[in-house]
Homo-oligomer: A and B are copies of this chain.
Amino acid sequence: MSLLYSSNMAKVVMNHGAGGETMQDFLSKHIVSHFPKMSSDVPLNSLDDSAVVDGIVFTTDGHTVKPLFFPGGDIGSLSVAGTVNDIAVMGARPLALSCAVILEEGLDIDVVDRVMDSVGKTSALCGVPVATGDTKVVESGAVEKMILVTSAIGRRSEHLDHNISVASGYRKIDSGWLTDDNVRDGDAVIVSGTLGDHGVSLLSFREGYGFESVVKSDVAPLNGMIENVLKKGGAVTMKDPTRGGLANTLNEWSSKSGIGIELNESDIPLKDAVVNACDLLGIDPLSIGNEGKAVIACVPEMADEIVKILRAHPLGKDASLIGYASSKTKHVTIRTTVGGKRILEPPIGDPVPRIC
């Protein structure tokens, strides 16, 4: 860790916001450390997807994606989906969104209309209304076009108790929520679809590599699909693998749960174009952010049922069981297709900047 971040590094760098280990360290040292300790079911210092305060699930997300419009989505759909997903993966039902808009003076009002139309349409799609907002304008040059910050509130899903009781039929569950520290030896790890689509599409579109014609962003609100999983039951934790991708999600689970995870490379769903693009660009598709995928850990006895439920949903048709938690290792490891084994390191950051 000391190699990633030293006290001599006195300036903010891109990786401080890139979702990996450098960010976690920066947040702990320079953000969270200044805030008074609070007692809550899921507090800030657990750095989970959402906090739970007095029964209210609460989350916030800043969006600085570049460009504002990209294949498969835009900053509006991204904001709504990303924030709704942070609530849903806690096992909660999102109730309402807030939308704070920072605009650059001189921006075409047509751009504002298009983005807000997308916010509205995505809000309608997932059934989570925008309840409150704020709009600021700064002079040209003080922000690049537009920043959106969405927050959301939710309540414990009416199906979460059922989900946990199904899991409890097989082993003791320590937390009443789907928190990062819930993973135990033998738990199955499932992804709801192909990984890396959002980051590759965005990077390719931005840099003109051409892969974006076959790979679009997966941006989508997952609350409906996740609700189906809760109704089936047996999940112990979930996460939407945004900045830092699957590698970040699984290393967070591994670290917070104190358990290793063993994956089978051949079971990880990846589009050919994503693999090709990542080979060409020298980046790991498992460290790239996704915006419409869930990673789910569940008791192994329910794994097949959960994969089936996911595949029955349009957003989960490529769902796959990719591995198991294991006390035999402390790392996240991948059994490669040629029979070897490699460690999936916690990423320092996301290899693609400003993707969300």
Contact = CB atoms under 8 A, between A and B. Distances in A.
A314 interface: no
A139 interface: yes
A110 interface: yes
B17 A60 contact: no
A139 B103 CA distance: 17
Given A11-B109, A116-B31, A60 B132 contact: yes
Contacts of A353: 139
A356 B51 CA distance: 26
A13 to B, nearest CB: 6
A15 B168 CA distance: 57
A224 interface: no
A117 B34 contact: yes
B11 A108 contact: yes
A157 to B, nearest CB: 14
Interface stretch (A142-150, A244-252, A258-266, A337-345): A142-150
Interface stretch (A36-44, A197-205, A270-278): A36-44
A167 to B, nearest CB: 25
A23 interface: yes
A51 B151 CA distance: 13
A124 B36 CA distance: 6
Interface string A77-119: 0000000000000000001101111111111111011001101
Interface string A29-73: 011111111101001100000110110101111111010000000
A125 to B, nearest CB: 10
A73 B16 CA distance: 26
Interface string A16-27: 111000010011
Contact of A10 (B44, B63, B110): B110
Given A106-B11, A123-B36, A62 B95 contact: no
A17 B142 CA distance: 14
Interface residues of A, number: 84
A16 B142 CA distance: 16
A107 B11 CA distance: 5
A58 B135 contact: no
A104 B13 CA distance: 8
Point out which of A123, A130, A134 has the most chain B C-beta atoms below 10 A from its C-beta. Answer: A134
B23 A138 contact: no
Given A35-B116, A56-B153, A139-B14, A147 B51 contact: no
A133 to B, nearest CB: 6
A328 interface: no
A129 interface: yes
Contacts of A105: 11-14
A354 interface: yes
Given A51-B96, A60-B151, 19 more contacts: A11-B106, A14-B105, A16-B135, A17-B103, A17-B138, A30-B112, A31-B112, A35-B129, A36-B123, A40-B96, A53-B96, A53-B129, A53-B153, A56-B96, A62-B100, A62-B136, A102-B147, A136-B356, A138-B144
6 contacts: A15-B137, A27-B135, A36-B129, A64-B143, A102-B147, A141-B141
Counting from the closest, the 6 A-B pairs by CB-CB distance are A17-B137, A38-B129, A60-B98, A51-B131, A151-B151, A149-B149
